[in-house]
Amino acid sequence: MLSVSSVLDSSGLASSNSPSLKEGIAFQKKGQLRKAEEIYRQILQGDPNNAEVLHLLGTIAFRAGKPADAISLIRRAIQNEPRNPHFYNNCGPALRELGRFDEAVVCYQECLRLDPAHPEAWYNLGKTLADAARPEEALAAYNRQIDLHPDHLSARWNRSLTKLLLGDYLAGWSEYEIRWEATPFKRRKFSSPSWHGEPLSGKTLLMHSEQGLGDTIQMLRYASLLEKLGGRVILECQPELVNLARTVRGIADVIPQGAVLPDFDFEIPAMSLPFVFRTTLESIPAVIPYIGVFPEKLAYWKSRIEKLPPTRKFGIVWAGSLKNPANTKRSMSLADFAPFQKIPDIEWISLQKGPAAEQAREAPLPLYDWMGEIQDFSDTAALVSVLDGVVTVDTAVAHLAGALGKPVWLLLPYVSDFRWLLDRDDTPWYPYMKLIRQPVLGDWDGAIKKLDSILKDGV
């Protein structure tokens, strides 16, 4: 998180005839970066070692997507003014952007040595430690940030994710509720009250999707618990999931997002259910399967699969949704799976949707691609049901196959989403899922080699 507020009182200005540093800062704060940069570079012509100007040019370079240039400029500023904590704090994000986490950590630590109560450095340190797969240290940094600045919402949000990653579910799900204030997620307003665990006997509860498709599928497991409490559950969800959700026990009606809602007594966002149920690692509802398949769709895909050679049939997904901000870290290309062509007795079935599905045209392994016939997730569920297993990156299909009780091998980046926890190859959310993690940051080849060995063993 970059800031220019730390240099508003700078006095290292050029002559009175030179452009004003304050004027450049004003342009920068208004987002007029080109005008700000022009002024800063004019100042440097007369004062090439002006640390504050070098630093500000570095922040502009970072925002322009040039982290290497940002590092060079800000380090020049540090050479000229080594005791300014803000320079170290603003060099850290550029190093983090390039995956140079250890160097970024050193920057934040130096910032905090100079200013232990810096308004952002503990938070930035926590984010970088999390990226470096050091969650316990990240949690300590977030705690320190919040001790010093209790209203720092982003630190509280990231602390909740870290607690969940570490398996501290009671505290993690509780603080996860801060998402309405700390993230772009918007809490919808209804005339009926939110449900906080009140008796549901004879009451109608609206459960509504709020995030991604996979999140919704994961939370559908709670519908049967709500039904046991006597509630009549109405689900509002993404259109792609409407038919699938109609197979879930405990859901009385399903409404696509954007349609008129019927009357209800209470409402709850889907991702708040673990908090209200006080879910722990030991109490995750994991009665599998909790979604079903339409018989006619199952019969159709069974007939298609039976026409293939009598080998194992595996679905494959290599890329996630472009809407997910973490997609570049969790997605692969189909070419990465080329080693699988040497695995005997496996027929590969594409389950890939979206722009990445175009890669199927030049598949590096024998691949059947029927996704043009798939209309929604109820179709995908029927196809997955007749397969022997699914290999996938972290996408909604992983949740779908897990909820169906199919064997799933989930390929994960070195630093994965909080729900997959740490250092384990299984998950309490889906008993038939195995986690294949990158052995080091960015090493998909290592993950593929591990999975290749597993599949060759005939599992």
Give the domain ranges of the chain.
5-182, 204-276, 295-456
- Which residues contact residue 61 at a Cβ distance below 8 angstroms, ignoring those fewer than 6 apart? 67, 69, 70, 73, 94
Query: Is the pTM for the entire model greater than 0.85?
Result: yes
What one-character DSSP code corresponds to residue 221?
A: G
pLDDT for 1 equals 31
Classify domain 5-182 at the CATH class level: mainly alpha
pLDDT for 11 equals 29
The CATH architecture annotation of domain 204-276 reads 3-Layer(aba) Sandwich (3.40)
Round to whole Å and give the CA distance between 286 and 198: 23
Q: What angle do CA 297, 300, 306 make, to 5 degrees?
A: 135
pLDDT for 344 equals 86
pLDDT for 322 equals 78
pLDDT in tens, the chain (459 residues): 333 333 322 323 233 345 588 899 999 999 999 999 999 999 999 899 999 999 999 999 999 999 999 999 999 999 999 999 999 999 999 999 999 999 999 999 999 999 999 999 999 999 999 999 999 999 999 999 999 999 999 999 999 999 999 999 999 999 999 999 999 999 999 999 999 999 999 999 999 999 999 999 999 999 999 999 999 999 999 999 999 999 999 999 999 999 999 999 999 999 999 999 999 999 999 899 999 999 999 999 999 999 999 999 999 999 988 777 777 888 999 999 999 998 989 999 999 999 999 999 989 998 999 999 999 999 999 999 999 999 999 999 999 999 999 999 999 999 999 999 999 999 999 999 999 999 999 999 999 999 999 998 876
Q: Is 90 helix (H, G, I), strand (E, B) or coil?
A: helix
Give yes or no for a contact between 317 and 306, defined as CB atoms under 8 angstroms apart. no
User: Computed over its alpha carbons, how large is the radius of gyration of the chain?
Assistant: 26
- Alpha helices by DSSP H, listed for 277-385, are 295-306, 327-330, 377-385
Q: What is the sign, positive or negative, of the torsion defined by CA atoms of 243, 244, 246, 247?
A: positive
CATH topology identical between 204-276 and 295-456: yes
> Hey, what are 211's tokens?
């995030």
The one-letter amino acid code at 233 reads: V
pLDDT for 299 equals 98
- Alpha helices by DSSP H, listed for 4-152, are 21-29, 33-46, 51-63, 67-80, 85-97, 101-114, 121-131, 135-148
Q: What is the DSSP string of 302-330?
A: HHHHHTS-SSEEEEEE----TTSTTHHHH
How crowded is residue 323: how many other Cβ atoms within 10 Å of its Cβ? 9
- Could you tell me which CATH number the domain at 295-456 has? 3.40.50.2000
Give yes or no for a contact between 202 and 264, defined as CB atoms under 8 angstroms apart. no
pLDDT for 19 equals 56
